[in-house]
Amino acid sequence: MRRRASLVLLSFAVFFAAMAPTLRWYVFPRVAKIPPNQYQEIVLEAKPATLVDYSTLTAKEVEKLTIIQTLKGNVEESKRIERDAGRDVVVWDALTYITGPDGKMVSKIPERYIFDAHTQDPVNATGAMVDGDAVRREGIEFKWPFLTEKRDYQYYDARSRTSAPIHYKGTRTFRGMDVYYFEQTIPWTKVPMPKTMPIEGVTPEMISQSGMTIWYTTKRMFWVDPVTGAPVNGEEIHKEELRNEKTDWKVTAFSGHVKMREDYIRSTVELVSANRTVVLLVTSYLPWTFVTLSLLLLALSLWLEARGRRPGPDSTATAPS
């Protein structure tokens, strides 16, 4: 009876020992993915900021500039692209909408970002665009991969339509969480005029015909949860200039230190903390629990087996002479 129980325990020990790496290395990469219908809104502010007055083409300081960034999952487009790509795909229709202190629109730039739901690698399918221009992305945007590594990544800069390294700068503590800090600097680069201008009747073509171009530089900073790959905070030191290269004339179009609004930081940290627990359950908590359980079952199985082989008192007694 003990031997039978020992074999049953040994079978369970082998099962749990096999399940631990299976969960981490087989199940997790296949089940962890971004849902196609995700919706997210983030509000950032620059206080104070410098803006150009297009009526006088002079720069002026304003109390506050507000940037509303929305990410909306396009389920229908995801299904369409998945049929051709043969893998799980997420399509985010993003909009960066900037308003001045009076609430009037300063700029708005739409994007369509298509990426692999599991790895967050870009999928360059038809429809990927920035401000109506078809683009081909290299590198991540908005989100890092699950189980982010301590290394540099290629990060796509939508304003310049280019990719550049975003550098890992170390582990930091943010709101009680251990996060990875990344920085990217885009040097002064000539960029396309926004399709939608803040003054009615003024078009990018009209500005270009006057000989003016727009240049841009930014220092981008992210605090990223390494488990989910989601940024819990983001900032930019951002500057744009209108230039006339023929006359060496230039004026600041926008300048400011852009930061996430406090209420959105709190809600983002809460959301990421909840998702973090789910990811850790599959990648760490359950696998290590299974390893511990398998060792305990193995020890118990060996103990029962040893008890079953121990000779009883009758087998050691000597026969009378």
Rounded distance, CA 8 to CA 56, Å? 85
Rounded distance, CA 260 to CA 69, Å? 10
Using alpha carbons only, give the angle 266, 270, 271 rounded to the nearest 5 degrees.
Answer: 120
- Residue 136: per-residue pLDDT: 94
| CA separation, residue 133 to residues 88, 108, 113 (Å) | 25, 14, 12
What is the DSSP secondary structure assignment for residue 25, as one 8-state letter? I
Which of the pair, 10 or 183, is modelled with greater confidence? 183
Q: Give the distance, in angstroms, between the CA of residue 154 and the centroid of all CA atoms in the same chain.
A: 13
pLDDT one-digit tens code per residue, 237-295:
999 999 997 888 999 999 999 999 999 999 999 999 999 999 999 999 899 999 999 98
pLDDT one-digit tens code per residue, 33-43:
999 999 999 99
Rounded distance, CA 253 to CA 241, Å? 5
- Token output for 263: 């209420």
- 255, with CB counted inside 10 A (0-12, 13-18, 19+), is buried
* Residues pairing with 151 in the sheet: none
Answer whether residue 320 shows pLDDT above 70. Answer: no
pLDDT one-digit tens code per residue, 144-173:
999 999 999 999 999 999 999 999 999 999
Q: Give the distance, in angstroms, between the CA of residue 321 and the centroid of all CA atoms in the same chain.
A: 85
Rounded distance, CA 38 to CA 35, Å? 6
> pTM for this structure?
0.88
Answer whether residue 200 shows pLDDT above 80. Answer: no
